[in-house]
Structure 1
Amino acid sequence: MSVYFHNIDPVRFDPDADGLAYRHYNPEEVVMGKRMEDHLRFAICWWHNFAWQGGDPFGGQTFDRPWFGDTMDHAKLKADAAFEMFNILGAPYYCFHDADMRPEGADFAENTRNLEEMVDYLGQKMADGGPKLLWGTANLFSHRRFMSGAASNPDPDVFAFSAATVKTCMDATQKLGGENYVLWGGREGYETLLNTDLRRESEQMGQFLSKVVDYKHKIGFKGAILIEPKPQEPTKHQYDYDVATVYGFLKKYGLEEEVKLNLEQGHAILAGHSFEHEIAMATSLGLLGSIDMNRNDYQSGWDTDQFPNNVPEVALAYYEILKSGGFTTGGTNFDAKLRRQSLDPVDLIAAHVGGMDVCARGLKAAAAMLMDGGLENARAARYAGWDTAEAQAMLHNGTLDSITADVLAKGINPQPRSGQQEVLENLVNRFV
């Protein structure tokens, strides 16, 4: 068993504590008829916390962890540390990529053996009281074989290797009782159109995803299949740019009823959107599955994956989630990483404690806004004209000829009405 966090006690809810404690996240507190833990469904990621070595585009490793290495012993030591941290935080869930928790083998067969051995190891830890699995996924972007994509790769052997890897990861997720399975197309995109056939690559991705859905039904996986949109980085043009782009792709291949979305705050910002926009778009299309909670540095043009610390932003995100009915199989995964100068074990704990408190504050503010009803009343009033029988008849049965005749006969001459944005912003500020 790891002793990496040996001097850190389990974190408890204690608003008056001096040291590490939750001051806002009380798992048992009831918000809108549901325990806070059941609303937020926090998950801790395997990759940034236990696999990332602290490098950035301009410098290498800064972290010194005893589990860094490429053997099964290192992988098990990493798992020991992970579950030790999960228990300190009292987190109900975790998430993984296959490459995070098993060493890279010489070929697919060895990768599979390593993965299966680690699944058994994690399964025992979960049986001994560890957290549940929110979702699993396959890393189809880090190894050099994926430099030109996975499903969209011009080499059919890479497509085959990727499909087989996803199968093993779906099997692993199923065995560990995972509640979702995520596909993140980290390199599904292109660097230059000079060597890219867009039609072929779209068709390959559509067929790949269809095979994933078919396999889900074959094995009786009850969780959701999730796609995680992301623009730009690392390729010049990512095919899964944002919610709207992914929805168009799903519609094209008839998968909009089979696949939902895992949305990340940092990715929304890179796409030029707010997080609440992406969540609202997904809920309007019936596609919200789960979220990755982090933030970007707005002074940097890339995905910095920092822990959340902006309560107003978080509150608006959870407002859209609560308004849609809340999570079902999804949850709040911290796809966030320490700054490369944060070297100590306690930094990992403190980062999550702070992030969980920010989310708890945001959730409570969102619930208060929703119960107050001011935003929804203002929204309903703005569109009230459309609720009349006459307006609905025009919308669904009118033609340009009939509408024009109506405008002339009634002398319709509309005047602008205030959108009252500042009034509504002031309303939000009362809660955050």
Structure 2
Amino acid sequence: MTNFFDGIAPVIYNPTSDSDLAFRHYNPDEMVMGKRMEDQLRFAVAYWHSFAWEGGDPFGGRTFERPWYPQDNMANAKLKADAAFEMFDILGQPYFCFHDADICPGGSNFAEYKRNLEEIIDYLAEKMEGSSTKLLWGTANMFTDRRFMSGAATNPDPDVFAWCAATVKSCMDATLKLGGQNYVLWGGREGYETLLNTDLVKERNQAGRFLQMVVEYKKKIGFDGLILIEPKPQEPSKHQYDYDVNTVYSFIKEFDLEGEVAMNIEQGHAILAGHSFEHELAMAAAFGILGSIDMNKNDYQSGWDTDQFPTNVPEVALAYYEILKSGGFTTGGTNFDAKLRRQSLDAEDLIAGHVGAMDVCARGLKAAAAMLEDGGLEAARDARYAGWDTDVNKAMLTSGTLESIAARVEAEDINPQPRSGRQERLENYINRFV
């Protein structure tokens, strides 16, 4: 046990409270589209930002002081786990997520790393026995250590590829042991800076074979969860092979992994790719690969991935609209890949950040459900494309040729005029709910 969260009571739903540490909108038992709110949202705490991050940024080092610093020994790793589960209990979060590097020190070689990982996994398993919090997903950090400076599975050095394979095997074993419901691959450095020293065909083939190995091993060990890829553009590598949903989907198809791999989509990464969050979610749903999400937001003035807690209800509502429309989460959930500002030093700040984010997501979820139940947005979309419902226009797509279509245009004197997209009306419609 630690004393880091001493004096902070479990957070409860109290819509009339004036406390910073009370839920005003997140009521786990409230029914939303046939499910409890908790079961629709499936919240998870990100171990890395909440407990491993030390408050640094590209221009300055550590600002936080935590009882489990320095994070270079197993005793402090266990102290960090104690604090994590204390926070899970305070928030009532049903899930958490981790990278291997978040939960234990790496060691001087692979054997020491594996011993440390196995020891902390046993400790986490003991903690989970006394907690209602489960593991949403695990993953391996293959981007921080200097050995990954030229990539992980895409590295030109086969020894790095081998290290990555051994690491992912260990992390998949750990995820299975803890009952994790998914396994995530985030290729943070799977990309390149310049073609002058890069064989991109070779690197893509390495990445594709690596992913095939992951799927093969999943089946061998009987892991029933989803394998998820998390796309991210440009940062940290200049040209990322996992740039966005479309890019990853083409990769999945190229290496015959349809039905085997889905997506973990982050709001901040979508913005960095020049998309909206709802665009990436809608594309993944269209391809049948929407698995889970990392919920956060970027500072729109900074231009880099600031991983802040979500505060924008309209944005969140549009995201959950696409999720609910696609049928909602199965094994996936809402992981708060979000961190405090580096000036927010106190334990209460960490609780308050999650409380506010959970309330924002609850408001967004309810707004999304209300819009779907009202049906106004779908009706407007259907009306805009209604012309395609006629037999003649259906046939134009299924059996038409350029010659037959041209002949019809001349025969019927087709002379189309533009029609309003009514965007402002639809924006006003959404604002009725948020």
TM-score band (shorter)? over 0.9
Instruction: State the Cα distance separating 1:404 from its structure 2 match.
Output: 1.1
Counterpart-to-counterpart distance in 2, 1:2 and 1:103: 20
Say whether the 8 Å CA contact 2:96–2:135 is kept in structure 1: yes
* 1:174 and 2:179 correspond: no
Equivalent residue letter for 1:249: F
Counterparts in 2 of 1:177-196, with a 5 A limit? 177-196=179-198
Q: Which residue of 2 aligns with 1:40?
A: 41
Q: Please say if residues 85 and 131 of structure 2, whose CA atoms lie closer than 8 Å, have aligned partners that are also in contact.
A: no
Q: Which runs of 4+ in 1 moved over 6 A?
A: none
Q: Structure 2 counterpart of 1:270, which letter? A: L
How far is 1:342 from its partner? 0.4
Task: State the alpha-carbon separation in 2 of the partners of residues 96 and 390 from structure 1.
Answer: 54
1:247-258 equivalences under 5 Å are 247-258=249-260
Q: How does 1:216-231 map to 2 (within 5 A)?
A: 216-231=218-233
Structure 2 residue 302 is matched with structure 1 residue 300: yes
Whole-angstrom distance in 2 between the partners of 1:329 and 1:182: 12
Q: 1:403 deviation in Å?
A: 1.1
Tell me which moved more, 293-302 or 14-23.
14-23
Deviations along 1:129-186, one digit per CA (max 9) or x if unpaired, are 2400000000000011111100000000000000110000000000100000000001
Deviation per CA, 1:406-427: give whole Å up to 9, x if none. Answer: 1111111111111110111110
Partner of 2:397: 395
Once the two structures are TM-superposed, the CA of residue 16 in structure 1 deviates from its matched residue by: 1.1
TM-score (norm 1): 0.99
Whole-Å Cα distance in 2 between the matches of residues 41 and 392 of structure 1?
Answer: 40
Secondary structure of 1:414's partner?
coil
Task: Note the C-alpha offset of 1:202.
Answer: 0.4
**SS of residue in 2 equivalent to 1:368:** helix
Q: Which residues of 2 match residues 82-121 of structure 1 at below 5 A? A: 82-121=84-123
SS class of match (2:86): helix
Aligned residue pairs total 432
Please give the per-residue CA displacement for 1:225-253, whole angstroms capped at 9, x wherever unaligned: 00000001111111100001111111111
2:320 equivalent in structure 1: 318
Q: Which residue of 2 aligns with 1:28?
A: 29
Contact 1:83 1:130 in 2 (8 A): no
Counterpart of 1:95, as a letter, is C
Per the alignment, residue 381 of structure 2 pairs with 379
Aligned-partner residue type, residue 375 of structure 2: G
Asked whether the equivalents of residues 5 and 83 of structure 2 are also in contact (C-alpha less than 8 Å), the reply is: yes
1:18 offset after TM fit, Å? 2.2
Alignment pair present for 1:361 and 2:359: no
2:278 maps to 276
> Residue 262 of structure 1: which of 253, 261, 264 is its match?
264
Q: Is residue 51–residue 68 contact of structure 1 (8 Å, CA) maintained in 2?
A: no
What's 2:340 paired with?
Answer: 338
**Could you list the runs of 5+ residues in structure 1 that have no partner in the other structure?**
none
Q: Which residue of 1 aligns with 2:16?
A: 16
Deviation at 1:32, TM superposition (A): 1.0
Aligned to 2:201: 199
Deviates more, 1:90-99 or 1:122-131: 122-131
Contact 1:86 1:131 in 2 (8 A): yes
CA distance in 1 between counterparts of 2:207 and 2:32 reads 41
SS in 2 for 1:304: coil
Q: CA RMSD in A?
A: 0.7
AA paired with 1:297? D
SS at 2:101 equivalent: helix
8 Å contact from structure 2 (residues 140, 168) kept in 1: yes
Partner of 1:128: 130
Alpha-carbon displacement from aligned partner over 1:320-354 (angstroms, at most 9, x marks no partner): 10111100000000000000000011000000000
Local SS of the residue matching 1:261: strand
Residues 1:67 and 2:75 aligned together: no
8 A contact 2:45–2:95 mirrored in 1: yes
1:138 corresponds to which of 134, 137, 140: 140
2:288, 2:16 → 1: CA distance?
41
Unaligned stretches of 5+ residues in structure 2: none
